[in-house]
Structure 1
Amino acid sequence: MKSVLGVVLAASAVLGTGAGTSAGAMWPEAGPEVGPEAGVEAGVEAGVEAGVEADLAHHGHVSLWDGRVGVWLVSENHGPSDLAQATVRLAFSEPMAGGQELPTACLWSSDRVVSCRTGELRAAGGVGELALDLRTAGLPDELTVEITTAWRDGAAADRNPGNDRHRVLVLATGDPYVF
């Protein structure tokens, strides 16, 4: 299922559906993990060459103030294989206001989820940066942001998945909460 998601994301990049999309444009959600029960070696996605490995890491900070959410995210590939593309998913516990423009590499998956392409991430040094300034639908005192890798182009394994999955509680203080 993840391979299908990868093809959809790649097609979206080629067709430019990330530019100026609104909350109505949606990418399909990632399906269940592929594993031994599906007749595929554990940790290897269907249609992906076995042995290809990339260690994605996402770090940055999130701030919340006066109904605004600021996200600064750096995605890195610690290798050993290069990645032509990856997708990071940002899921917010509170809905975001409708009609907001996103960077061309991103699009709305729902009113609480933004999915963004990282661009090419070379092994041991590839870096992609992302900055978002979003409005919330209300004025929450706090919210939670979950940052995860939704798709890794051609990489079947990530032996250190802890550095590309974060859950951050953000208080409406304007302070940067680092992940």
Structure 2
Amino acid sequence: MRRVAVRSVVLAGLLVLGGGLPAGAAPVDAGPEADVAYHGRVSLAHAQLRIWLVPQNEGPSALPNATVRLRLSVPLADRQELAAGCARAGLREVVCETGALPLHGRGRHIGLALGLWEPVSEVVVRVDTWWNGGATDRNLANNEHVVLALDTGDSYAF
């Protein structure tokens, strides 16, 4: 097992330094390639943050599941009623499974009503992929978002 790990590190280093594999070397299996994206809305009103998002996969491979991470600039209230498949990951973080992401398809719609520790005038929400089953995603621009929500009740799209 250790020999395989060392070989993988050496091959990865050669790829970075030399731009390719050494002659006769087999490529390291990097898993499937997928393009996970998130689209949705965020709104803030009276210390309650509402998030609605839809995960999507543009391929070229389907994924059996992935996990989206939502990080907030302010602490969450102690008690939360989270949607199925979602869990608290820290004082300011929630993670949710996306469900299966078929090729050129969507995962399950995720809706959250998160209570904040105290009323604030604004919240920054960072959305990104926490886990994708080891898939390679060459386009991170559509699955990493930063959204500023003001305490107006207005929806901010991403």
TM-score, length-scaled by structure 1: 0.72
Match of 1:65 among 45, 48, 55: 45
Question: 1:21-66 deviations in whole A, cap 9, x for unaligned?
Answer: xxxxxxxxxxxxxxxx954647xxxxx8326200000010100001
Distance 1:173 1:39, change over 3 A: farther
Q: Which has the larger radius of gyration?
A: 2
Q: Which amino acid in structure 2 is aligned with residue 163 of structure 1?
A: N
Q: Partner of 2:115 in structure 1?
A: 135
User: Is residue 162 of structure 1 aligned with residue 141 of structure 2?
Assistant: yes
Q: Which runs of 5+ in 1 are unaligned?
A: 1-36, 43-47
- Runs (4 or more) in structure 1 with deviation over 2 Å come to 37-42, 48-51
Size of the alignment, in residue pairs? 137
Contact kept? 1:83, 1:154, Cα under 8 Å: no
Aligned-residue CA RMSD (Å) = 1.8
The DSSP-based 3-state class of the residue aligned with 1:61 is strand
Return the alpha-carbon distance in structure 1 between the equivalents of residues 52 and 127 of structure 2.
11
The DSSP-based 3-state class of the residue aligned with 2:59 is strand
Q: Partner of 1:175 in structure 2?
A: 154
Q: Partner of 1:102 in structure 2?
A: 82
Q: Partner of 1:77 in structure 2?
A: 57
User: Is residue 119 of structure 1 aligned with residue 99 of structure 2?
Assistant: yes
Contact kept? 2:31, 2:134, Cα under 8 Å: no
Q: Partner of 1:153 in structure 2?
A: 133
